[in-house]
Chains A and B, each alone.
Chain A
Amino acid sequence: MSVCPPYAPFFGFGGVASAMIFSTVGVAYGTSKSGIGIAGLGTFKPELIMKSLIPVVMSGIIAVYGLVVSVLISGGLKATDYSLYAGFIHLGAGLACGFTGLAAGYAIGYVGDSCVRAYVYESKVFVTMVLILIFAEVLGLYGLIVALIMNARVSEASGCP
């Protein structure tokens, strides 16, 4: 069992894919669910639509987190001189970013939908909505930070014998 088997890039690519796919699941849920609320708000008060696009924008930021981690991890993948250690670290980094993005997108979708519907009746809800959305967004940011720290460890590893 060698330290640098030829199947090590399988896990590295799995990390890239999972970072993008799982955060996309969260973003899709967030965008569509808050989009439903925004369309409902628009039929009653069209002048508030532009301000209530904030949940959709924050979901897009989660997608950018996933994109950044995917790009960073895929920059470190190579065919030769790639250890299993590097492969599993890349997989872990991708899963960390992906699942936190999934959770953040889910939260943003739910909060965005409910708060936007309440915004029709009470305009003071807006500040509260932004505060709650920030706390939901920060989950994805934590995943991004952990993924970046893990990815930095790969370059410290010794090369293949």
Chain B
Amino acid sequence: MGLYSSYYTYGLSTFVTVVVALYLLFTGSGEAFNVGQFLEETSPYAWASTGIGLCIGLSVLGAGWGIFVTGASIIGGGVRAPRIRTKNLIRCIIGIVYSARMSPVPDTLLYTRENYFTGYALFWGGLTVGACNLLCGICVGIAGSTAALADAADPDLFVKILIVEVFGSILGLFGLIVGLLMVAQASEFTAAAPAAAVSPFVH
């Protein structure tokens, strides 16, 4: 890792993508790059499961990251001011994990418009909740670590710096609201009434 690590990351992936795209184009199979086909032939269960996994995984990652950042400062500050050790650990619990309300109830495996809709809703909803919780956890962690250090310097500051943490924790709340809104319109996975697939790309 060095000055050019971002060149490797973005440049290499761009180069590979361009090579693959040009290969498809010049060998006469340019139709193979079909975003719509990919979105239609992947199972809605795949989207839904990925969304739920991302929701839990990213939320836990955010909670852990926040706890680690705050805990490091608490332990470091506790060397000089041992009184801060118990008061500040309560703040670690701000990085909570929102339980997955998004649990699909699968019936039969059929590709209807409503099932596609549900799959996409669960994927994007889970990603939103997970990413917002991750960012909330990091933000609260950093704010909490500075609160711990300020508390080590002066005990009266703790409550005032807590206001910053409260503003940070509303981020996770907003993410949860948006995630719930997205999933509220999506019905459960149901079988189509006439047994027909709505997409030509499904076997």
Taking Cβ atoms with an 8 Å cutoff, the residues of A that contact B are 1, 5-7, 9-10, 13-14, 16-17, 20-21, 24-25, 27-29, 31-32, 34-36, 38-40, 42-43, 46, 49-50, 53, 56-57, 59-60, 63-64, 66-67, 70-71, 74, 77-80
Contact = CB atoms under 8 A, between A and B. Distances in A.
Contacts, number: 161
A68 to B, nearest CB: 10
Interface in B101-124: 111, 113-114, 116-117, 120-121, 123-124
A24 B142 contact: no
B177 A13 contact: no
Nearest to A53: B163
A31 B168 CA distance: 6
Contacts of B113: 6, 79-80
Given A32-B143, A36-B142, A24 B175 contact: yes
B36 interface: yes
Contact of B142 (A21, A32, A49): A32
A6 B178 contact: no
Interface size class of B (residues with CB under 8 A): 35 or more
Interface in B142-160: 142-143, 146-147, 149-150, 153-154, 156-157, 160
Nearest to A69: B178
Contact of A10 (B39, B127, B167, B186): B39
Interface stretch (B3-11, B79-87, B89-97, B129-137): B129-137
B154 A20 contact: no
Given A35-B146, A36-B142, A43-B157, 11 more contacts: A6-B111, A7-B120, A13-B123, A14-B124, A20-B178, A27-B139, A28-B171, A31-B167, A35-B161, A38-B164, A46-B157
A157 B80 CA distance: 66
